[in-house]
Amino acid sequence: MSGFPQADAQPCPTDDSRAALTLCGAALLADASGALLWPGEGVLAVADLHLEKGSSFAARGRMLPPYDTRATLDRLAAVIERERPSRVLCLGDSFHDRRAGGRITAEDSARLRALTAAVDWVWITGNHDPDPPEGLGGRAAAEVRLGPLVFRHEAQPGAVGELSGHLHPAAALALAGRRLRDRCFVTDGAKLILPAFGAFTGGLNVLNPAIAGLLGPNFQVLLTARGRVHRFPRDRLSPDRGG
């Protein structure tokens, strides 16, 4: 038996665009956008924006549409406008590399500065952005501790009350005669790993040892698909084809 507390099995709220869960007594909401809400503390957390990923690939000869930063900021601004948090925590890899600040357009830069100026904004540092660009507002931190919770980029084995990103979790399962795969939150009741929020970010199946090995055996996912959040236990999930 795992020493971790079991994942909260409470039902989804009536609004199926979000799902309730608790972590170390903190009442949280997993939003279909991929953002994590802590209403009692006015916190909105997102992970792995990977801003300017498209321009990074283009600089290396792999041409992708150069609109990922704008699309990501559109989604993020919409969630902030709807939720009106007092604090935004970006859980690392917010920028795809150390040169992202020099490639972001003037328009996107101005928009980001407006967002960071409106709330207490924290850039938690990640492996892609150990030094977030200057001049875009907000403040940098290796991690943030609030009450019983700690927000950081990479999950640590055995940590309790931890919220992280980095691994871009996704889940796959057979549902109503078809296969569904999408980004997800994953939790075992002791820790929570957020999905990647960025427009150009993929996902790693939660059954991969890199994710499953960090969690207790009875973890569950909160799958985000088509504007809804769907809760599934581990035993409903499938590995990727060919995996």
49-98 per-position pLDDT tens digit: 988 865 554 455 555 666 789 999 999 999 999 999 999 999 999 886 76
> Does residue 165 register a pLDDT over 70?
yes
Please give the pLDDT value at position 129: 80
Of all helices (H) and strands (E), which one includes residue 206? none
Are 34 and 78 within 8 A, CB to CB? Answer: no
Which pLDDT belongs to residue 133? Answer: 85
List, in sequence order, the alpha helices (H) in 12-155: 53-59, 68-83, 100-103, 106-118
* Closest listed residue to residue 9, CA positions, set 219, 207, 206: 219
Burial track 216-229 (b if 16+ CB lie within 10 A, e otherwise): bebbbbbbbeeeeb
DSSP 51: B
**Strand segments (E) across 86-202:** 87-90, 120-124, 139-141, 144-146, 149-151, 162-164, 169-175, 178-187, 191-193
Mean pLDDT of all residues in 140-162: 97
Which has more pLDDT, 146 or 201? 146
134: helix, coil or strand? Answer: coil
CA distance 60 to 147: 43
Give the pTM.
Answer: 0.89
User: Which residue intervals of 41-196 are DSSP H helices?
Assistant: 53-59, 68-83, 100-103, 106-118
> Mean pLDDT across the chain, nearest whole number?
88
The per-residue pLDDT for range 27-45, each reduced to its tens digit, is 999 999 999 999 999 999 9
Q: Which domains does the chain have, with CATH numbers?
A: 18-231 (3.60.21)
